[in-house]
Amino acid sequence: MSTGTTWTIAGVRAALAAKKISARELAEEFFAAIERGNPELNAFLTVSTERAYAQADRVDAAVARGEALGPLAGVPIAVKDVISTQGVRSTCGSKILENYVPPYDATAVERLESAGAVILGKTNCDEFAMGSSTENSAYGPVRNPVALDRVPGGSSGGSAAAVAAGLAVAALGTDTGGSIRQPGACCGVTALMPTYGRVSRYGLIAFASSLDKIGTFAGNVSDAAAVLGVMAGHDVNDSTSAAVPVPDYAAEIEKPIKGLRIGVPEDYFGEGLDGDVKSKIEKGIALLEGLGCRRIPLKMPHTDYAIATYYIVATAEASSNLARYDGVRYGLRVPGATLTEMYRRTRERGFGAEVKRRIMLGTYALSAGYYDAYYLRAMKVRSLIARDFSDAFQKVDAIITPTSPTPAFKLGEKTADPLQMYLADIYTVTGSLAGVPGISVPCGRTKAGLPVGLQIFGPHFGEGRVLQIANALEKAGGATI
């Protein structure tokens, strides 16, 4: 299931520079691992061998010429299947885009390749990134490499599983309400969601445009920082990307954390939190205190309203974004006697149950007579949740919480109860609504051997601070607490 070697970005660059391995040989090693491991995991939907080998050959040619190598030279990276890749099938985990091949690359992908990354292929995900377990994919569920009878989390479950199983050094995911951080926690890997606007969304196939963010999975904090450093920055193709300078994250993460104030909100430690998870998070916080951080109790009073708010805002935006899949311009078309019948048949056959559920919820929330009662009210509560964060960051440098209330649950355990599934995002949707950066880092394992994730939130564009604390925790042995 693994490549047999735990490659890191620094390790890949050092091996290439010393000519211990070529980029092509490394790509071959990872494709062989995918061939062995993927039938069981179902983490990859498409592999892009031609594209990967062409890039690997370019890197090898640069090595042969003695040129300076890009920050991600030769590094095998996987990409979630909601991110556009030119010439490589991009399905969003949906039948409606089963044969869609984008004519252009997402900015994030373009920047990775410009830095030398080798794109291995596209990873499985919940359909249109709607789900918390990667069981909503039209192409079958992903299995958690740590425990094959468990979910890998969602919606970026394929990316998390690929990194956890050693089928990629790093992987891109997207986070709308927890879809990077929660699978990171379930699979025991580092999972970073940047500030809204830090990474261009150009080429990201939209779910909820005011919430979607492209982020990364990696085997360690340093690698997550390296990938973010390449992707981050303003993009003229995305009007929501921020013209904020990108710091040197590699330097930021090495800064000492002594004296930093870490806020611990009591609202995240109440009913519903698994005892094993709580115990590990408390140990993680104690470890940070031992490194010189100051623990400060916090109250974030609007946390209880986050799930309801998120599932109104996100579904409303989804119903608008998914209106474009009508069988007219691209994607699946199921003929009908009239235009309306064609629309109905195409959407009926093309969309899965969860996507239909969210489209209906969102359409209802936006409909005449209900807009004020639902969507408008949810947007007001979203502002209050954002204010909870801005108030907290007046008193603390970072906020520490569990990533998920439970470890990875069993496949099929929650599929019949959407509400229980939605509650898996209870600790992640708050940061999504506020637009702040967050990271999930491994924080020990439960008695049953399942990974636990500790979540760190920072202020807007405070990725450096979040990575700095995560790196200190990792180096102090947080993963083995």
In angstroms, rounded to a whole number, what is the distance separating the alpha carbons of residues 25 and 122? 20
3-state SS record for the chain: CCCCCCCCHHHHHHHHHCCCCCHHHHHHHHHHHHHHHHHHHCCEEEECHHHHHHHHHHHHHHHHCCCCCCCCCCCEEEEECCECECCECCCCCCHHHCCCCCCCCCHHHHHHHHCCCEEEEEECCCHHHCCCCCCCCCCCCCCECCECCECCCCCCHHHHHHHHCCCCCEEEEEECCCCCHHHHHHHCCEEEECCCCCECCCCECCCCCCCCEEEEEECCHHHHHHHHHHHECCCCCCCCCCCCCCCCHHHHCCCCCCCCEEEEEHHHCCCCCCHHHHHHHHHHHHHHHHCCCEEEEECCCCHHHHHHHHHHHHHHHHHHHHHHCCCCCCCCCCCCCCHHHHHHHHHHHHCCHHHHHHHHHHHHHHCCCCCHHHHHHHHHHHHHHHHHHHHHHHHCCEEEEECCCCCCCECCCCCCCHHHHHHHHCCCHHHHHHCCCEEEEEEEECCCCCEEEEEEECCCCCHHHHHHHHHHHHHCCHHHC
Q: Are 115 and 73 in contact (CB under 8 A)?
A: yes
Please say if 395 is a catalytic residue.
Answer: no
Catalytic residue among 80, 213, 280, 414: 80
Catalytic residue among 22, 94, 132, 155: 155
Please say if 155 is a catalytic residue.
Answer: yes
3-state SS record for 289-320: HHCCCEEEEECCCCHHHHHHHHHHHHHHHHHH
Catalytic residue among 22, 48, 137, 179: 179
Whole-Å CA distances, 449 to 24, 148, 173, 189, 464: 36, 13, 25, 14, 31
The pair of three-digit structure tokens given for residue 84, joined into one six-digit string: 């556009």
In angstroms, rounded to a whole number, what is the distance separating the alpha carbons of residues 401 and 403? 6
**Single-letter amino acid, residue 210:** S
Burial class (CB in 10 A: 0-12, 13-18, 19+), 53: middle
Please say if 210 is a catalytic residue.
Answer: no
Sign of the CA dihedral running 450, 455, 461, 463 = negative
User: Among all residues, which ones are annotated catalytic?
Assistant: 80, 155, 179
